[in-house]
């Protein structure tokens, strides 16, 4: 009497899924609590974790809150996701994301709800969690996440072109980005914000998936290099374009220029600029500055290293020295820094 037909999918994060339900489709409502704290003296990786989860599940809702667990009250970001999916694939994907989040955030336990049923526990071996730090501080990056709103001050054609591109509407994306470049070309002078948006536009429109005239590509590459000079800081103020953000663009330039085979920069110069980009991220973090928006700097360093290694194998010693310096500054992330060459 009074038996519930509710399936406790949350327990399958640690238990085997019965064959009779593993291949069935189900509508999932998932709630994930991300604690906004970080090892004392370190930078936060929580914004990157939150964005990764939202991207993985193709969107969701998130908001600020306060959590109380075992006598400790702390700020959290609460994520809500709705998704139709095969049970086995959904649980496997969620298990992967939760385990990844626990390792990046150095959390002893994670809180998840699946269709109303809770999981509170660890998906990481206790031998690993015992090494997690005891000293923490609250993180103010919640304001950066909620204030970002997909880069609210960007030019509208840059934003909507990015949306078209993600929908594989490449012609529409190219049309919007080209119109923006032509619009800015008609102006006598540009503000720093407009020049920054041009840089972002160049990094988007140079995609090999678009059909640009060779002369137009050359012009874009020349302007890209002018706004972002090789192996030296740009003229942008840190409020307009942080060194972390600038370094991400340098990494993207290595990928784009090496793919399209133009740009007026030698392969070795591109590789050296990649090392400079990693140095920029390191200096940005060591100065105590927060990572750029929701981007994980360790992931960005790893991506830049991959781009460098595709065109040159001469800079591993320099890069390792930078990583060793960062590991000394942020010892609680030692395990993650050791994997950036993987």
More confident residue, 293 or 319: 319
Co-location of 242 and 276 in the same domain: yes
d(CA 79, CA 58): 13
- Cα-to-chain-centroid distance, residue 276: 20
Tell me, what's the pLDDT at 142? Answer: 72
Percent of the chain at pLDDT above 90? 70
| Position 103 confidence tier, pLDDT thresholds 50, 70, 90 | very high
| Position 94 confidence tier, pLDDT thresholds 50, 70, 90 | very high
| Position 150 confidence tier, pLDDT thresholds 50, 70, 90 | very low
Q: Looking at the domain assignment, is residue 219 inside a domain?
A: no
Co-location of 275 and 336 in the same domain: yes
d(CA 80, CA 156): 28
Q: Looking at the domain assignment, is residue 289 inside a domain?
A: yes
Tell me, what's the pLDDT at 259? Answer: 78
Contact 248, 292 (CB under 8 A): yes
Co-location of 96 and 124 in the same domain: yes
Residue 67 has pLDDT above 90, yes or no: no
State which of 94, 118, 148 marks the end of a domain.
148
Helix segments in 3-138, DSSP class H: 19-22, 46-56, 87-105, 126-129
Q: Looking at the domain assignment, is residue 221 inside a domain?
A: no
Name beta bridge partners: 112: 32, 119
Tell me, what's the pLDDT at 266? Answer: 86
Residue with tokens 């972390």: 244
Q: Looking at the domain assignment, is residue 1 inside a domain?
A: no
Q: Looking at the domain assignment, is residue 3 inside a domain?
A: no
Buried-state track 293-309, b at ≥16 Cβ within 10 A, e below 16: bbbbbbbbbbbbbbbbb
Tell me, what's the pLDDT at 6? Answer: 81
Tell me, what's the pLDDT at 148? Answer: 52
Tokens of 191: 């503000």
Co-location of 74 and 163 in the same domain: no
DSSP character for 289? P
Co-location of 325 and 257 in the same domain: yes
Co-location of 187 and 232 in the same domain: no
Tell me, what's the pLDDT at 58? Answer: 87
Co-location of 37 and 115 in the same domain: yes
d(CA 297, CA 293): 10
Buried-state track 219-250, b at ≥16 Cβ within 10 A, e below 16: ebbebbbebbeeeeebebeeebbbbbbbbbbb
- Cα-to-chain-centroid distance, residue 161: 20
Q: Looking at the domain assignment, is residue 338 inside a domain?
A: yes
Co-location of 317 and 198 in the same domain: no
Tokens of 124: 């990481």
Co-location of 47 and 141 in the same domain: yes
Q: Looking at the domain assignment, is residue 23 inside a domain?
A: yes
Co-location of 174 and 133 in the same domain: no
Torsion from C-alpha of 268, 272, 278, 280, nearest 10 degrees? -140
pLDDT mean across residues, the chain: 90
| Position 258 confidence tier, pLDDT thresholds 50, 70, 90 | confident
Q: Looking at the domain assignment, is residue 2 inside a domain?
A: no
State which of 148, 165, 196 marks the end of a domain.
148
pLDDT tens track for 282-316: 999 999 988 887 889 999 999 999 999 999 989 99
For residue 41, give the H/E element and its range.
Answer: none
217 phi and psi, to 5 degrees?
A: -60, -45
Residue 145 has pLDDT above 50, yes or no: yes
Co-location of 133 and 71 in the same domain: yes
Lowest pLDDT segment from 92-106, 135-149, 221-235: 135-149
Co-location of 86 and 186 in the same domain: no
Show the domain range for 270: 228-342
Lowest pLDDT segment from 102-106, 215-219, 244-248, 283-287: 215-219
328 exposure class (CB count in 10 Å sphere: 0-12, 13-18, 19+): exposed
| Position 165 confidence tier, pLDDT thresholds 50, 70, 90 | very high
pLDDT average, residue stretch 247-266: 84
pTM (two decimals) = 0.83
- Listed in sequence order, the residues at least 6 apart from 158 whose beta carbon sits closer than 8 Å to its beta carbon are 176, 177, 180, 197, 200, 201, 204
Tell me, what's the pLDDT at 1? Answer: 43
- Cα-to-chain-centroid distance, residue 162: 16
pLDDT average, residue stretch 187-195: 91
pLDDT tens track for 40-55: 999 999 988 998 999 8
Residue 105 has pLDDT above 90, yes or no: yes
Number of domains in the chain: 3
d(CA 54, CA 65): 17
d(CA 55, CA 294): 12
């Amino acid at each position: 009497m009074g038996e519930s037909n509710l399936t406790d999918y949350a327990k399958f994060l640690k238990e085997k899924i019965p064959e009779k339900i593993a291949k069935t489709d189900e509508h999932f409502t998932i709630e994930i609590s991300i604690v906004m704290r970080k090892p004392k003296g370190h930078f936060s990786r929580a914004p990157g974790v939150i964005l990764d989860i939202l991207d993985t599940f193709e969107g969701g809702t998130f908001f600020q809150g306060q959590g109380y667990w075992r006598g400790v009250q702390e700020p959290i970001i609460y994520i809500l996701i709705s998704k139709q999916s095969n049970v086995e694939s959904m649980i496997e994907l969620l298990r992967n994301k939760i385990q990844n989040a626990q390792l990046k955030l150095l959390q002893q336990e994670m809180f998840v709800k699946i269709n109303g049923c809770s999981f509170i526990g660890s998906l990481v071996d206790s031998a690993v969690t015992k090494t997690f730090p005891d000293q923490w501080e609250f993180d103010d990056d919640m304001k950066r996440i909620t204030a970002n709103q997909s880069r609210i001050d960007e030019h509208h054609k840059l934003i909507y072109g990015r949306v078209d591109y993600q929908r594989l509407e490449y012609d529409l994306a190219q049309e919007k980005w080209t119109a923006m470049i032509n619009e800015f070309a008609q102006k006598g002078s540009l503000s720093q914000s407009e020049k920054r948006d041009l840089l972002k536009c160049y990094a988007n429109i140079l995609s090999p998936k678009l059909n640009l005239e060779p002369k137009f590509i050359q012009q874009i590459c020349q302007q890209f290099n002018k706004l972002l000079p090789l192996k030296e800081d740009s003229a942008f103020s840190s409020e307009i374009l942080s060194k972390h953000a600038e370094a991400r663009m340098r990494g993207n330039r290595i990928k784009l220029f090496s793919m399209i085979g133009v740009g007026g920069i030698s392969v070795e110069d591109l590789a050296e600029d990649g090392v400079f980009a990693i140095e920029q991220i390191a200096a940005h973090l060591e100065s105590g500055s927060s990572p750029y928006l929701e981007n994980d700097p360790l992931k960005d360093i790893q991506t830049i290293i991959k781009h460098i290694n595709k065109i040159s194998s001469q800079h591993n010693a320099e890069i390792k020295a930078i990583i060793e310096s960062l590991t000394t500054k942020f010892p609680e992330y030692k395990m993650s820094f050791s994997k950036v060459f993987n």
